[in-house]
Amino acid sequence: SAVISQKPSRDICQRGTSLTIQCQVDSQVTMMFWYRQQPGQSLTLIATANQGSEATYESGFVIDKFPISRPNLTFSTLTVSNMSPEDSSIYLCSVGWGNNEQFFGPGTRLTVL
């Protein structure tokens, strides 16, 4: 298993600003993913964070809006850029080894005013 922490746990931000969310894992993992969960909805995959290369984005998500870094096998960041109220969501980091279970962090609850 893996212990995943996210910072911040929640934040309230102003329109037009950016927020960087950190994901830290207690062991080296092969795969790291970022998901978004809008109020009352299921989880939507934003991108796969690749170590040492650019993230792989899902349809509807672009690097300019959601830049992602993954400098090593235990850490990743997701930035939500130029925020609008529609970006108010829970953002979740997820990790795995590409062979079995996938573990999820506690999430970052973002409110954009």
Partner 1 sequence: DAKTTQPPSMDCAEGRAANLPCNHSTISGNEYVYWYRQIHSQGPQYIIHGLKNNETNEMASLIITEDRKSSTLILPHATLRDTAVYYCIVRAMNRDDKIIFGKGTRLHILP
> Cα(108)–Cα(27) distance, rounded to whole angstroms?
20
- Which is nearer to partner 1, 57 or 75 (by Cβ)? 57
Query: Which one, 17 or 44, has the nearer CB to partner 1?
Result: 44
Sheet of 68-72: strand order equals: 4-7, 19-25, 75-80, 68-72
Q: Report the C-alpha gap between 93 and 76 in whole angstroms.
A: 9
Which residues in 27-86 contact partner 1 (CB under 8 A)? 30-31, 33, 35, 42-45, 48
Q: How far is the CB of 49 from partner 1 (least distance, A)?
A: 11
Site residues for partner 1 per CB under 8 A: 4, 30-31, 33, 35, 42-45, 48, 92, 94, 98-107
